[in-house]
Amino acid sequence: MEDQVDGNEDYGDKLPVGFRFLPTDVELVTHYLINKVIYNPFSSFIFQEINATELYTKSPKNFREWFFFIYMDMNIDNMHNKAIEKGGDELGFWQSIGDRKCVKDTNGNILATKITFIYFSGSPSHRKKTHWRIDEFRLPIQFYTLHNSKEKWAAGRLARGRDYTSF
């Protein structure tokens, strides 16, 4: 697995002029995440692989829209709400917001769980909400058992809102 966390890989030159990679939640799960987990080949030049430990200890400051696969090497739920230190005085952390949402197919079957994280600058006691968001898509545990998959992956989409002013 290759860790790349710059998030600035320009995939625009690989798409036809005027096209943008913008999959729906269902497409992201069915065409990319499921194929990644069951080792089905697919065109993945847009996705990078990253370890969960590294992803959630990085500030999104230098990123732009980014799609990636997260290697779930540990129980990362405990990691999301920890403050992380960056260079200089910069401090921030990712925190899940809202309820986990089910991603369902057209028949109402649950395909995955979607968890949204927001990046907060500052310490937990003096935090400032930013406009950076990660949508993380996780397959049900039963899927890994059914397909005898040893590696657990999630798909992620990082995006920046329009009114971002913290950095």
The rounded distance, in Å, linking the Cα atoms of 150 and 43 is 22
Residue 13 lies in a domain: no
Residue type at 135? D
Residue 1 lies in a domain: no
Write out residues in the chain with pLDDT < 50, as ranges. Answer: 1-9, 81, 83, 85-89, 164-167
pLDDT of residue 10: 52
pLDDT of residue 3: 44
Residue 11 lies in a domain: no
Question: What is the count of structural domains for the chain?
Answer: 1
Residue 142 lies in a domain: yes
Residue 2 lies in a domain: no
User: Which tokens belong to 13?
Assistant: 């030159």
- Structural domain including 107 reads 25-160
Residue 89 lies in a domain: yes
What's the farthest any 2 CA atoms get from each other in the chain?
51
The rounded distance, in Å, linking the Cα atoms of 121 and 165 is 11
Q: Are 23 and 31 in contact (CB under 8 A)?
A: yes
Residue 131 lies in a domain: yes
Q: Are 137 and 112 in contact (CB under 8 A)?
A: yes
Residue 165 lies in a domain: no
Give the CATH number, domain containing residue 142: 2.170.150.80
3-state secondary structure string, the chain? CCCCCCCCCCCHHHCCCCCCCCCCHHHHHHHHHHHHHCCCCCCCCCEEEEEHHHHCCCCCCCCCCEEEEEECCCCHHHCCCCCEECCCCCEEEEEEEEEEEEEECCCCCEEEEEEEEEEEECCHHHCEEEEEEEEEEECCHHHHHHCCCCCCEEEEEEEECCCCCCC
